[in-house]
Amino acid sequence: MGVARLDEVRAAFLEDLGQAGKDASAVEAVRVKYAGRRSGLLLDLTAALRDLPKEERRDYGRALNDLKQDIGKCLDEAREASISGAAAPQDMVDISLPGMALTRGAEHPVNLVRRKIEEIFLRMGYDVEAGPEIEDDWHNFEALNIPSDHPARDDHDTFYVTGDRLLRTHTSPVQARVMENRKPPIRIIVPGKVYRRDSDLRHSPMFHQIEGLLVDEGISFGNLKATLETFLHALFSGHGVDVRFRPSYFPFTEPSAEVDITCIFCGGSGCAVCSRSGWIEILGSGMVDPRVFERVGIDSERYTGFAFGLGLDRVAMLMYGIPDLRQLFSGDQRLTRQFA
């Protein structure tokens, strides 16, 4: 008797449990043998305590408690892992049945375009940045030289969250955020979701833009032109597009230009997609307005830079011939499956 006996019982229990394996009724038999309420071995071991000499009782009692706990735990685990005879694996699985076919996922066309654009700019040494979709008035408008009475605010059908918080209407606020936190040279692109209160064939309340910004000493409009031409030729490689710059206006760039490519559907001769003009407008751009530099704390005497922004969804529609912008966000797998 004594502690040595407990060790024997422990070894025998583990042996029995091992043999029971995952068979639920065998596990139950082991439970009855050791932990059964009326005749389990643990009962005998508890009763034996009384017959022990006083000086052995403490150690024995302690070891017995440990043994009870361990047996309980092992039984619980074995019961959980066990399978009742009626549902043993050989009855559940018919290995001669054909397997379940996994449907193949596809990348969303907007993501395909985004990655294509990221690859082009990463090759040119740009970093990919991100910013918050719930933006404050300062970064979305003020820092970009769009004060509250500026007519350009009317073009941004803004969703306001609270007085000062809004859903960003463009990715341009990330320009301001990065310039506030970093010293030039800065070379970034910023893909992301933007929001405007608008919905029709060509507009969705949520859409995607990609922003670009380069700031350094001695940056000229020539750099802007060369960069955007290189980019657009790479993006539409295979279509042999021409690129043209038209003077335009944005509050945060001066001078500003809108950039067109020759229509990839008619090659420039004029069709329904390009409204018979032969050109498709693809992005907005310009030299960063010195007022923006001053607002974000960059020395406008020392640094110049250019910025640009384009709609990813529009490029995806052009590239893949998708007629209705809203189809991109309908969740209809007939669209995405085509890209698998």
Q: Which residues would be at the binding site for ligand DAH (CB under 6 A)?
A: 170, 172, 211, 250, 253, 284-286, 307-309
**Positive or negative CA dihedral for 274, 275, 279, 281?**
negative
Q: How far apart are CA 112 and CA 264, in angstroms?
A: 18
Question: Shortest approach of ligand DAH to residue 152 CB, angstroms?
Answer: 9
Question: Shortest approach of ligand DAH to residue 104 CB, angstroms?
Answer: 35
Question: Shortest approach of ligand DAH to residue 320 CB, angstroms?
Answer: 22
CA dihedral 228, 231, 235, 239 (to 10 degrees): 70
Question: Shortest approach of ligand DAH to residue 116 CB, angstroms?
Answer: 19
Residue 262 or residue 285: which is nearer to ligand DAH going by CB?
285
Residue 131 or residue 309: which is nearer to ligand DAH going by CB?
309
Q: How far apart are CA 275 and CA 109, in angstroms?
A: 24
Using CA atoms, how far residue 325 sits from 111, 120, 314, in Å, is 14, 24, 8
Which tokens hold the place of 164?
């000062």
Residue 64 or residue 172: which is nearer to ligand DAH going by CB?
172
304: nearest Cα among 314, 282, 318, 289: 289
Q: What DSSP assignment string belongs to 44-64? A: HHHHGGGGS-HHHHHHHHHHH
State the residue number with the nearest CB to ligand DAH. Answer: 309
Q: Strand 186-195 and strand 279-288: pairing?
A: unpaired
Residue 135 or residue 211: which is nearer to ligand DAH going by CB?
211
Residues forming beta bridges with residue 160, ordered by sequence position: 166
Question: Shortest approach of ligand DAH to residue 183 CB, angstroms?
Answer: 20
Residue 185 or residue 240: which is nearer to ligand DAH going by CB?
185
**Positive or negative CA dihedral for 146, 147, 152, 158?**
positive
Residue 191 or residue 284: which is nearer to ligand DAH going by CB?
284
Question: Shortest approach of ligand DAH to residue 312 CB, angstroms?
Answer: 12
Question: Shortest approach of ligand DAH to residue 271 CB, angstroms?
Answer: 25
Residue 6 or residue 256: which is nearer to ligand DAH going by CB?
256
